[in-house]
């Protein structure tokens, strides 16, 4: 079974600064997908960024980027130029290669990020 | 294009009662997954429906059951409610022909069991 660990229950960052959220996972799979989801107080789970394990290049989406270390089974999220709207719970999630059909997501316990003005 | 919708938004029940939660998937999606998110925790997979059948199931008791309709919408039923069933219930939809695509989540139903 896969497990996802987020070791930082809470973090805070000053507006416009950079923050990194940590995530480690355990799996025996070779092909899989990793995700960071954001859940603001509105509760809607929103995809921030995704990474395919077969890709060596780290994914980036505007101010969001990841540091994917497959051998270390580490998948951290870096948020640059933090904005007040980034305040939310952030969840790291794992999905093994679908075969066949869709496979469920395995989530960590989350990191609560507060951006301070 | 409507995203994933869920109803009701909030629900309060007492122990022993039964509850039904509803989910309409994003347009073009045919697969619905249900997750339970306890307070302060990450979501946990309950089960997934495709072609009106339960295809995969997480570690949840038989008190949790579901259904999928021909229009791909889905219901989650919980019988004999326990206090520990209090949680946010999230529905996620996806397209079976593109299983590596992103799953889209609804806003959730907050269930409180007294």
| Touching B: A residues 33-62, CB under 8 Å | 33, 35, 37, 42-47, 50, 52
Rounded to 5 degrees, what are φ and ψ at A114? -115, 125
Give helix then strand counts, H and E, for chain A: 0, 12
Check residue A100 and give its pLDDT. Answer: 64
Residue B102 has what DSSP assignment?
P
Q: What percent of chain A has pLDDT over 90?
A: 84
Could you give the maximum distance between any two Cα atoms of chain B, in Å? 41
CA-CA-CA-CA torsion sign (B47, A101, A38, A73)? positive
Q: How far apart are CA B31 and CA B11, in angstroms?
A: 25
Residue in chain A lying closest to B47 (CA)? A104
pLDDT band at A42 (very low <50, low <70, confident <90, very high): confident
DSSP codes joined into one string, A64-89: EEEEEETTTTEEEEEE-S--GGG-EE
Residue A41 predicted with pLDDT over 90: no
How far off is chain A from B107, nearest CA to CA, in Å? 4
How many residue pairs bridge chain A and chain B with CB atoms within 8 Å of each other?
Answer: 66
Which of B41, B48, B99 lies at the smallest CB-CB distance from A109?
B41
CB contact under 8 A, A91 and B33: no
CB contact under 8 A, B56 and A104: yes
Choose the mutation target among B3, B55, B90, B100 for the interface with A, i.e. most A CBs under 10 Å.
B100
Q: Work out the average pLDDT over A69-82.
A: 97
Residue B103 vs residue A36, higher pLDDT: A36
Residue B76 vs residue A56, higher pLDDT: B76
H helix or E strand, kind and range, residue A26: strand A24-26
A42 burial class (0-12, 13-18, 19+ CB within 10 angstroms)? exposed
Which of B50, B58, B106 lies at the smallest CB-CB distance from A104?
B58
Check residue B1 and give its pLDDT. Answer: 64
Residue A55 has what DSSP assignment?
-
pLDDT tens-place values along chain B, 114 residues long: 679 999 999 999 999 999 999 999 999 999 999 999 999 899 999 999 999 999 999 999 999 999 999 999 999 999 999 999 999 999 999 988 887 888 899 999 999 999
């Amino acid at each position: 079974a896969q497990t996802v660990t987020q070791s930082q229950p809470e973090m805070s960052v000053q507006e416009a600064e950079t923050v990194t959220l940590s995530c480690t996972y355990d799996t025996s799979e070779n092909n899989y997908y990793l995700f960071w989801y954001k859940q603001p107080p509105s509760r809607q789970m929103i995809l921030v960024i995704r990474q395919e394990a077969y890709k060596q290049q780290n994914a980036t989406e505007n101010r969001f980027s990841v540091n994917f270390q497959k051998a270390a089974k580490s998948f951290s999220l870096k948020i640059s130029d933090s904005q007040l709207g980034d305040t939310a719970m952030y969840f790291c999630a794992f999905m093994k290669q679908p075969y066949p059909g869709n496979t469920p997501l395995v989530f960590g316990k989350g990191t609560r990020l507060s951006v301070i003005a | 294009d409507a995203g994933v919708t869920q109803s009701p938004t909030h629900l309060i029940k007492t122990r022993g009662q039964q509850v039904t939660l509803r989910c309409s998937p994003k347009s073009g999606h045919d697969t619905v997954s249900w997750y339970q998110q306890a307070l302060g925790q990450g979501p946990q997979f309950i089960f997934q429906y495709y072609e009106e059948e339960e295809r995969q199931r997480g570690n949840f008791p038989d008190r949790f059951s579901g259904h999928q309709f021909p229009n791909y919408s889905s219901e989650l039923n919980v019988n004999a409610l326990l206090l520990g069933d209090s949680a946010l219930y999230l529905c996620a939809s996806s397209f079976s022909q593109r299983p590596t695509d992103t799953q889209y989540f609804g806003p959730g139903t907050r269930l409180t069991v007294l």
